[in-house]
A and B are shown apart, each in its own frame.
Chain A
Amino acid sequence: MIIPLQYNLRYLRTRWTGTLITAVTFGLVVAVFVIVMALAQGLDRAFVTTGDPLNLLIMRPGVQSEMQSSVSIDRYQIIRTLKGIATGADGEPIVAPEVLVVVNKPKLPDGGKSNLQVRGIDLKTLELRPQVRIVEGRMYEPGLREVIASRLVSKRFQGFRLGDTPIFGGGTWTVVGLFDGAGTAYDSEVWCDYEELQQEFDRRGGYSTVVARATDPAAAAALARTIDEDPRLKLEVKTEVQYYSEQTETSRPLKLFGTFLATVMAIGACFAGMNTMYGNVASRAKEIGTLRVLGYTPFSIVLCFVFESVLLALIGGIFGCLVSLPMNWVTTGTTNFQTFSEVVFQFAVTPRLMTIALGFAVVMGVVGGLLPAVSAARRPIIDCLSKV
Chain B
Amino acid sequence: MTYHTFIRKNALRNKRRTALTVLSVGFSLFLLITLQTVLSTLLNPRETEESALRIAVRHSVGLTQMLPISYQAKLEKVPHVKAAMPMQWFGGQYIEPKNFFANFSVGHEQFFDMFPEFEFSDGAEDAFMKERIAAIVGDALMEKFGWSVGDRITLLGAIFPVDLEFRIVGSYAHESNDSAFYFRHDYLEESMSDWGMVGTYWLMADSAEAVPGIIDAVDSQFRNTAYETKSETESAFQLTFVSMLGNVQLLIGSISIVVVFTMLLVAGSTMAMTIRERLREVAILKAIGYPRRVVLGLVLGEAATVSLMGSVVACGLSLALASTDVARATGGFVEKIDPGPVVLAAALGIGIMIGLVSALFPAVQASGMSINEAMRRLE
State whether the Cβ of A64 lies closer than 8 Å to any Cβ in chain B. yes
Q: How far is the CA of A314 from the CA of B157 in the complex (A)?
A: 50
Q: How far is the CA of A376 from the CA of B116 in the complex (A)?
A: 67
Quick check: B20 and A272 within 8 Å, CB to CB?
yes
Closest to A103 in B: B61
Within 8 Å CB of A112, what residues of B? 243
Q: How far is the CB of A43 from chain B (nearest CB, A)?
A: 10
Chain B window 281-295, contacts with chain A (Cβ cutoff 8 Å), 1 for yes, 0 for no: 000000000000000
Which of the 9-residue segments B78-86, B126-134, B261-269 touches chain A?
B261-269
Within 8 Å CB of A36, what residues of B? 251, 255
Quick check: A275 and B265 within 8 Å, CB to CB?
no
Within 8 Å CB of B244, what residues of A? 114, 334-335, 337, 340
Given contacts A63-B161, A276-B269, contact A340 B63 (CB under 8 A): yes
CB within 8 Å of A: which B173-207 residues: none
Within 8 Å CB of B60, what residues of A? 104
Quick check: A264 and B27 within 8 Å, CB to CB?
yes
Q: How far is the CA of A49 from the CA of B261 in the complex (A)?
A: 37
State whether the Cβ of B259 lies closer than 8 Å to any Cβ in chain A. yes
Quick check: B265 and A25 within 8 Å, CB to CB?
yes
State whether the Cβ of A68 lies closer than 8 Å to any Cβ in chain B. yes
State whether the Cβ of A67 lies closer than 8 Å to any Cβ in chain B. yes
Q: How far is the CB of B277 from chain A (nearest CB, A)?
A: 9
Q: How far is the CB of B162 from chain A (nearest CB, A)?
A: 9
Quick check: A275 and B21 within 8 Å, CB to CB?
yes
Q: How far is the CB of A69 from chain B (nearest CB, A)?
A: 10
State whether the Cβ of A131 lies closer than 8 Å to any Cβ in chain B. no
Q: How far is the CA of A388 from the CA of B263 in the complex (A)?
A: 31
Quick check: B21 and A271 within 8 Å, CB to CB?
yes
Given contacts A253-B333, A256-B330, contact A271 B269 (CB under 8 A): no
Q: How far is the CB of B100 from chain A (nearest CB, A)?
A: 11
Within 8 Å CB of B261, what residues of A? 28
Chain A window 57-75, contacts with chain B (Cβ cutoff 8 Å), 1 for yes, 0 for no: 0001111100110000000
Q: How far is the CA of A67 from the CA of B61 in the complex (A)?
A: 14
Closest to A343 in B: B246
Within 8 Å CB of B258, what residues of A? 28, 31-32
Chain A window 304-327, contacts with chain B (Cβ cutoff 8 Å), 1 for yes, 0 for no: 000000000000000000000000
Given contacts A261-B31, A268-B266, contact A62 B62 (CB under 8 A): no
Q: How far is the CB of B118 from chain A (nearest CB, A)?
A: 26
Given contacts A68-B159, A334-B245, contact A268 B262 (CB under 8 A): yes
Q: Which residue in A25, A62, A275 is a CB contact (below 8 Å) of B262?
A: A25
Closest to B159 in A: A68
- The size bracket of the interface on B is 35 or more
Quick check: B62 and A268 within 8 Å, CB to CB?
no
Quick check: A271 and B27 within 8 Å, CB to CB?
yes
Given contacts A102-B64, A256-B329, A335-B244, contact A264 B31 (CB under 8 A): yes
For B31, B261, B272, the residue with the greatest tally of chain A CB atoms inside 10 Å of its CB is B31
State whether the Cβ of B324 lies closer than 8 Å to any Cβ in chain A. no
Quick check: A102 and B61 within 8 Å, CB to CB?
yes
State whether the Cβ of B30 lies closer than 8 Å to any Cβ in chain A. yes
Interface size on A, residues (CB 8 A): 49
State whether the Cβ of B16 lies closer than 8 Å to any Cβ in chain A. yes
Given contacts A28-B261, A253-B330, A268-B28, contact A339 B266 (CB under 8 A): no
Q: How far is the CA of A264 from the CA of B314 in the complex (A)?
A: 11
State whether the Cβ of B88 lies closer than 8 Å to any Cβ in chain A. no
Quick check: B269 and A18 within 8 Å, CB to CB?
yes
Within 8 Å CB of A39, what residues of B? 251
Q: How far is the CA of A112 from the CA of B273 in the complex (A)?
A: 50
State whether the Cβ of A300 lies closer than 8 Å to any Cβ in chain B. no
Within 8 Å CB of B48, what residues of A? none
State whether the Cβ of A94 lies closer than 8 Å to any Cβ in chain B. no
State whether the Cβ of B340 lies closer than 8 Å to any Cβ in chain A. no
Q: Which residue in B91, B156, B273 is a CB contact (below 8 Å) of A18?
A: B273
Q: How far is the CA of A278 from the CA of B269 in the complex (A)?
A: 13
Within 8 Å CB of A275, what residues of B? 17, 20-21, 24, 266, 269-270, 273
Residues of A within 8 A of B (CB): 17-18, 21-22, 24-25, 28-29, 31-32, 36, 39, 60-64, 67-68, 102-104, 112, 114-115, 252-253, 256, 261, 264-265, 267-269, 271-272, 274-276, 278-279, 332-335, 337, 339-341
Closest 8 CB pairs of A and B: A335-B244, A271-B24, A268-B27, A334-B246, A21-B269, A272-B266, A268-B28, A275-B20
* Apart from A61-B161, A271-B23: 15 A-B pairs, beta carbons within 8 A: A28-B262, A39-B251, A63-B158, A63-B161, A64-B91, A102-B61, A256-B329, A271-B24, A272-B269, A275-B20, A275-B24, A278-B16, A332-B247, A339-B64, A340-B63
25 residue pairs bridging A and B, Cβ less than 8 Å apart: A21-B266, A21-B269, A28-B262, A31-B258, A32-B255, A36-B251, A39-B251, A62-B157, A63-B159, A64-B91, A102-B64, A104-B61, A115-B62, A261-B31, A264-B28, A265-B28, A268-B263, A269-B24, A271-B24, A272-B20, A275-B270, A276-B269, A278-B16, A334-B245, A341-B64
